[in-house]
Each structure stands twice: as C-alpha cells, then as structure tokens.
Amino acid sequence: MIRRIINIDEEKCNGCGLCARACHEGAIGMVNGKAKLLRDDYCDGLGDCLPTCPTGAITFVEREAAAYDEAAVMENKKKNQKNADKPLACGCPGSQSRQIRREDSAASPQMPLSESARNIDSQLRQWPVQIKLAPVNAPYFNGAHLLVAADCTAYAYGNFHQDFIRGKITLIGCPKLDEGDYSEKLTEIIRNNEIKSLTIVRMEVPCCGGIERAAVTALQNSGKFIPWQVVTISTDGRILER
C-alpha cells in the first residue's frame, strides 16, 4: 500500500539517537552509528521523531510500505521492556532534550566567601547545550532569551553562570573544532520560535569570530528583528566589549 512514512537521510544523521528514543513504536534503531528505519510496519507515520532530530535528517515520504501493525508493535514492546532502561547503541542517551527548572538563589550574606564559592548554583535551564544536538523545535525556545556562546568562554570568565546563563537558554559551540556552519541551524531555531533576545559571547581570539558570524547571519536570515548584543571575553577572563 502507498502511505506516509518517515525517511532518514544518513548523510545528515549525526548519530545522536534522539529519534530512536522518541519513537515509541520501536521503528527506529541505531545501526553503525546512524539512525535507521528498522521495519515499515512499526512506523505509524505520525512523526514523533521529527521534532527531536537536531540536523533535519528525518522527513516524510509517500511510498509503498507495509501497513502499520499495532499488534506487532505491542508485542515488540513487551519483548523489549526488560531492556527499556539500557543506554542506546549510539552511546549517547544523555543527549535527550529536557528542560531544567531553576529557582533564583543567592549565597547567604553570612556565609564565608570560600564556603559561598563551593555552593554556587548552576543556572543552566535546558539540555543539551551543544548547538548541533539541540532540537530546533524544543519547547524551551519559545519566549526564550537565547545565549549563543563559544565553549571556551565559560572557562575563561569566572562568573559565567550568573552573568550570562542566568535566565537564558544556552547554546554552545566551537567554530574552529566543529565541522560545518552553525548559521543554518541557528536560523531555524530563531525563525521557528519566539526568541525574545540574542546574546552572543565569544573569545577575543580571531577563530572565535565564526560563532559571532554564524549567529548574526542566522538572525538576518530569519527575517526577525530582536534585540541582540555581542560580548567579547579576553583570554585572561575580562569582558572587552559589551
């Protein structure tokens, strides 16, 4: 029969495994580090896996395929129930998207400085943080103040969580070491969500200009007009521009 079913572009697949976790029917598995549609009759054609894919590797196609077999799906679920909590074959189950609820907190004024430093709360509000792993349509992007930062900045600037991550959704990357251009992914995130503002934090080194260019290009290509700023951090941990 001709019906709607998913198609996975292996060239675009980065092997994160998010789609396999999102597929409740077990139609998708990881084979040699790539997502693969294992059985046509396990795919219901509803596409729960689509919004979880960070690279846009999954699309719908109309083709000859076996009919969705709910009974076979349920039987397979029972068979694999004992393995439900095991890590994915891709080796990266921790990349599953999730939101982290934070309450604003501060160290007690009576607490000695050394003790206070050991109890600084994380301000991270979502996972994952890598640009390439973040789902484009993750719910935490709607209404978010977006932080796009070079990954070295958090190591160079001591108060990074309080001054930059706090109250924002954070995406990080390294334009020198990562393959590809972030601008296309960031364009889709800004275009498809109600982003309230964009903060770009980069290091002073020339190679770090790639993350600034990608974010600014993404903002321009999105067709949206939102407040944005670039902050440059020196290699000795000072703010140079703001």
More confident residue, 96 or 142: 142
pLDDT band at residue 176 under the 50/70/90 scheme: confident
pLDDT for 104 equals 53
pLDDT at 119: 65
Count CB neighbours of 104 within 10 A.
Answer: 8
For domain 2-94, the question of CATH label 3.40.228.10 is answered with no
CATH of 99-241, one of 1.10.3470, 3.40.50, 2.60.40, 2.20.25: 3.40.50
Residue-range domain boundaries for the chain: 2-94, 99-241
Pairing of strands 2-8, 28-31: unpaired
8 A C-beta contact, residue 223 and residue 212 = no
> pLDDT tens across 24-80, in order?
888 998 887 889 999 999 999 888 888 888 888 999 999 999 999 989 888 887 776
Cα distances (Å, whole numbers) of residue 119 to 16, 101, 113, 163? 32, 18, 10, 16
Confidence of residue 110 (pLDDT cuts 50, 70, 90): very low
Q: What is the pLDDT of residue 111?
A: 44
Give the rounded percent of residues in the chain with a pLDDT score beyond 90.
Answer: 54
- pTM (two decimals): 0.58
Assess whether pLDDT exceeds 80 at residue 16: yes
Write out pLDDT tens, residues 182-208.
899 999 999 999 999 999 999 999 989
**What's the confidence (pLDDT) of residue 196?**
96
183 in helix, strand or coil?
A: helix
What is the C-alpha to C-alpha distance for residues 169 and 124, in angstroms, rounded to an integer? 8
Q: CB under 8 Å to 230, separation ≥6 — which residues?
A: 200, 201, 202, 212, 216, 241
